[in-house]
A and B are shown apart, each in its own frame.
Chain A
Amino acid sequence: MTVVDIARKDVADAVRSRALWVATAIFLGFILLAQGIVLAVVENPDPELAARFLEGPATEVVLPILGLLVGYQAIVGERETGNMKFLLGLPHSRLDVLLGKFVGRTAVLSVAVLGGFLAAIGMIAATIGLPPLAPIAAYVLFVVLSVAAIVSIAVGISAVAETRTRAISVAIGGYLLATVLWSYVVDGLYYAVTRSLPGTDPPTWLAIVDHLNPLTAMSTSADVFLPEASQIAITATEEGVSATQTEQTPSGTAETLVHEPLFLVAVLVFWIALPLAVGYLRFRDADLS
């Protein structure tokens, strides 16, 4: 199994180069920081509320960056150093190398993510009690699927790019598009079609367009699986800022297609398959000189 050979070697490299530990430390740091703030700021938080905050900057902002960093050099880096000629001089096909790198790097980042979640759950359990584990497990599964999608995009970029510099530029561009610019893209499309801006309750088709972004799909999986967050009332007084939970649930969360787990799975699987396919077709025909 040559894909497995490549993947195993890739994981071993990540362990040796400490990339695995750095990725784990960064993700762990952010997820624990977010939890720490929730536990410290909210008065008498319950475990369900804390569980809701497993989704946060660690998954929304840090995870995509880690995924792109872990993956963007996968192919182009080995091309630039000439290591690729060593791998392809052995009985590995270009497809084996591409898939092996994808599997290896997805495994590395998944370990980092699982480590982070386990630590955060442990922190909640130790301070305020055991959070609901089944919904969290379902959510974590979606995060791992998203990890695979992000790594696939990064590895796909690295298979198409001719140089590392070009790969990192495209990766940064993609990150900005998916995080900062995406809402403008979606709103712009809505405006182009309807000549008006979407209101508070956008139509289903627009929500579907919005969810073509794998990061939106990941974030919606949190809405679907994690316990509904009660409202948090933040009050600023002379003594400082304090936050309390109220029993009110937020309004305007209509269940549509985009809240179907199967739909979310389809989006993420699409983002796993497409970059690998495009990357392979380009890499297959590339001259390695």
Chain B
Amino acid sequence: MSAIRTNDLTKQYGSQTVVSKIDIEVESGEVYGFLGPNGAGKSTTIAMLLSYVHPTDGTAQVLGRDVREGSAEIKHRIGVLPEQYQLYDRLTGRKHLRFAIDSMGAGDDPDALADRVGLAATAVRRPVGEYSTGMKQRLRIALALVNEPDLLVLDEPSSGLDPAGIQLLKEIVLEERDRGAAVFFSSHVLEQVEEVSDRIGILVDGELRMSGDLKELKSGIGAAVELEVEIDAVSQELLTAVESLEAVTGCTAIDSDYGGPSLSISLSSGTAKAEVLRTVEAHSTVEDFTAEEQSLESLFEEGVAEANR
């Protein structure tokens, strides 16, 4: 049973599509890094997984149960850190933990949880209103750890944390994974996801642009390729033929000041290079070509730049 499985999960607000047909699968004992620039739809996706927001289309299953039904019961087994939620300023950190433990019907020791996230025994007895941003975030992480959850859903957990806090967060994420829990966490910073994730997904403009095993993505196997082909002439038949290939995700003709025109072709996988070149050859004469494998970084940065436009 997957910890998380979504199928064509979609959220529209009016005519605006915030999350578009995304498929995600997260297994027990793995860390899934959910990457994307701010405003890409990460929080909305997480809100749908936690049934804060109702999907307009598609399905989402969490720990084998549809999020549309029985969401309260499922939460006994999930630890959550939703997007920047406020704590209760007048309550102490300990009272927060106590409330979460009681609500969960769990047997955790609030002091042990506080200690795990580096909140001092004196601090945890003070009202949260007196906490620094970092201390509040540490408390939120501790709250997500109550009742040894089978799944942790953390939305931007490193926000507000100092470097030491970020390091501690990474250790906790790995400890939880080694315990057998699935960890799903989002970030807009690639480095924070890279170090701990087994698999990642990159969300841009509500679409899952890339997802897969982090090691494979980094080594370039199956990675996307940008192909530049210089040819003698561009014809409509050529463009149609190239675009009809399965691996091609985009094809544009570029007029260049020197030499002939060229084609800029985006491929979802490098293995299709030869096939694409053969197709181009069939309709024109290839003068020269370059192939550039897209690294995780370049893809992510491209996505960010695209979203910022």
Contacts and interface: CB of A to CB of B under 8 A. Distances in A.
How many residues of B sit at the interface, in one of the four size bands?
A: 20 to 34
Contact of B75 (A82, A90, A285): A90
A247 interface: no
A90 B103 contact: yes
Given A287-B54, A289-B44, A289-B53, A90 B86 contact: no
A127 interface: no
A17 B127 CA distance: 13
Contact of A86 (B44, B87, B90): B87
Interface in B77-114: 78, 80, 82-88, 90-91, 99-100, 102-105
A83 B89 CA distance: 11
A122 to B, nearest CB: 32
B257 interface: no
B75 A83 contact: no
A238 to B, nearest CB: 57
B85 A82 contact: yes
Contacts of A9: 99
B283 to A, nearest CB: 49
Given A289-B44, A289-B52, A90 B104 contact: yes
Interface string A1-20: 01001000100010011000
Contacts of B88: 13, 83
A234 B303 CA distance: 82
Interface string B41-60: 00110010011111000000
Interface string A92-136: 110010000000000000000000000000000000000000000
How many residues of A sit at the interface, in one of the four size bands?
A: 20 to 34
Contact of B84 (A82, A88, A89): A82
Contacts of A13: 88, 90-91
A91 B99 contact: no
B104 A85 contact: no
Given A5-B103, A285-B54, A93 B86 contact: no
A9 B102 CA distance: 11
A139 to B, nearest CB: 36
A88 B86 contact: no
B143 interface: yes
A2 to B, nearest CB: 7
Given A82-B82, A289-B44, A92 B53 contact: no
A91 B73 contact: yes
Nearest to B43: A289
Contacts of B44: 289
Given A86-B143, A89-B50, A287-B54, A16 B72 contact: no
B41 to A, nearest CB: 11
B76 interface: yes
B71 interface: yes
A92 B88 CA distance: 17
